[in-house]
Amino acid sequence: MTAVRVAISGPVREVQRATGGGRVREMPTEGPLVDRFGRVHDDLRLSVTDRCNLRCVYCMPDKGMTFLPRSEILTFEEIARVAGIARELGVLSVRLTGGEPLVRRGICGLVRHVAALGFDDVSLTTNGILLAPVAGELAAAGLRRVNVSCDSLRPERFASIRRRGELDVVLDAMSAAEAAGLAPLKVNVVLLRGINDDEILDFAAFARDTGRVVRFIEYMPLDAGGRWKRDQLVPGREVLERIDAVWPLQAARRAGDAAPADRYRFVDGNGEIGVISAVTEPFCGTCNRLRLTADGAIRNCLFSDAEHPVRDLLRSGGTDQDVAMLLRRAVWGKLPGHGINEPGFLRPRRSMSMIGG
Give bridge partners of residue 97 from the DSSP assignment: 47
* C-alpha distance from residue 182 to each of 44, 121, 252, 329 (Å): 19, 12, 21, 34
277 counts as binding ligand SAM under rule CB under 6 A:
no
- Output phi, psi for 265, to 5 deg: -95, 150
Helix axis angle for 107-115 and 76-88, nearest 10°, is 20
Given strand 272-276, what is the order of strands in its sheet?
Answer: 249-251, 262-266, 272-276, 213-218, 186-191, 145-149, 121-126, 93-97, 43-47, 289-292, 297-299, 308-309
> Could you tell which of ligand SAM, ligand SF4, none binds residue 16, using a CB distance below 5 to 8 A set by kind?
none
Smallest separation (angstroms) from ligand SF4 to the CB of 87: 26
311 counts as binding ligand SF4 under rule CB under 6 A:
no
123 counts as binding ligand SAM under rule CB under 6 A:
no
146 counts as binding ligand SF4 under rule CB under 6 A:
no
Residue 30 burial (C-beta neighbours within 10 Å; 0-12, 13-18, 19+): exposed
Give bridge partners of residue 186 from the DSSP assignment: 147, 213
100 counts as binding ligand SF4 under rule CB under 6 A:
yes
> Could you tell which of ligand SAM, ligand SF4, none binds residue 296, using a CB distance below 5 to 8 A set by kind?
none
Q: Which of 92, 161, 190, 234 binds ligand SAM (CB under 6 A)?
A: 190
According to CB under 6 A, which residues from 317 to 336 bind ligand SF4?
A: none
According to CB under 6 A, which residues from 247 to 266 bind ligand SAM?
A: none
> Could you tell which of ligand SAM, ligand SF4, none binds residue 303, using a CB distance below 5 to 8 A set by kind?
none
> How far apart, in whole angstroms, are the C-alpha atoms of residue 261 and residue 135?
24
60 counts as binding ligand SF4 under rule CB under 6 A:
yes
Q: What is the DSSP letter of 93?
A: E
x/- letters, 41..60, toward ligand SAM (CB under 6 A): -----------x-----xx-
54 counts as binding ligand SF4 under rule CB under 6 A:
yes
Q: Where are the alpha helices (DSSP H) in 299-356?
A: 311-315, 320-332, 352-355
Query: For ligand SF4, which is the closer residue by CB, 99 or 271?
Result: 99
Q: Which of 16, 49, 93, 127 binds ligand SF4 (CB under 6 A)?
A: 127
> How far apart, in whole angstroms, are the C-alpha atoms of residue 249 and residue 150?
22
Q: What residue ranges bind ligand SF4 (CB under 6 A)?
A: 52, 54-56, 59-60, 98-100, 127, 149, 353
